């Protein structure tokens, strides 16, 4: 199902489909856009589109599947946030705030649905080798190679964290003392 989740009508169609399906076992909320633009002189319409995708779409799709999962007593929701959720000064403030929302919303879902058989995980990746950076106008070639994670390594780390029951997985962070 192809849909522009920033389009309210398209988002509602996806929600309706998810709501009536009784067999959704896993929702991975991975759609998102970012920005490095400063607030001063920034494009508020672009920020509104970012909130629509990073926050509103994620919330609505979760609302579409979580009640059914809870009724069945099983299901998994993986919300892809960003390390910027806890280091908001690293990029655009609206982007950081949207990713902080994803983390907080995921923690609330864990509290509400954990005892009902749902597994809920937030994944907070750092720099990952995707087209995200080109879209921002900051090609990966400009970043230190040592901080870039491949998509495959990100997925492996997220799935390993999920299998271990981690509620928050920070791929690439192998030494918890470094984060602390």
Spot the catalytic one: 15, 18, 95, 158: 95
> Are the beta carbons of 9 and 22 closer than 8 angstroms?
no
Alpha-carbon gap, residue 92 to 115, rounded angstroms: 36
Closest listed residue to residue 97, CA positions, set 106, 84, 108, 80:
84
The residue among 75, 130, 123, 76 whose CA lies nearest residue 102 is 123
> Is 101 annotated in the active site?
no
Q: How far apart are CA 81 and CA 124, in angstroms?
A: 5
Nearest CA to 27 out of 119, 111, 102, 110 is that of 119
- Three-state SS for 37? coil
Write out the catalytic residue numbers. Answer: 95
């Amino acid at each position: 199902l192809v849909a522009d989740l920033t389009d309210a009508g398209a988002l509602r169609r996806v929600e309706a489909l998810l709501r009536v399906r009784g067999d959704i076992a896993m929702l991975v909320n991975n759609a998102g856009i970012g920005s490095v633009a400063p607030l001063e002189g920034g494009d508020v319409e672009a920020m509104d589109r970012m909130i629509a995708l990073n926050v509103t779409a994620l919330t609505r799709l979760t609302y579409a599947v979580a009640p059914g999962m809870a009724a069945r007593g099983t299901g998994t929701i993986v919300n892809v946030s960003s390390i910027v959720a806890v280091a908001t000064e690293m990029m655009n403030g609206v982007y950081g705030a949207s990713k902080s929302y994803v983390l907080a919303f995921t923690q609330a879902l864990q509290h509400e649905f954990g005892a009902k058989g749902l597994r809920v995980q937030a994944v907070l990746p750092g720099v990952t080798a995707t087209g995200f950076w080109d879209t921002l106008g900051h090609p990966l070639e400009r970043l230190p190679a040592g901080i870039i994670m491949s998509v495959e390594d990100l997925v492996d780390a997220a799935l390993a964290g999920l299998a271990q029951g981690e509620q928050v997985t920070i791929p690439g962070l192998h030494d918890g003392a470094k984060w602390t």
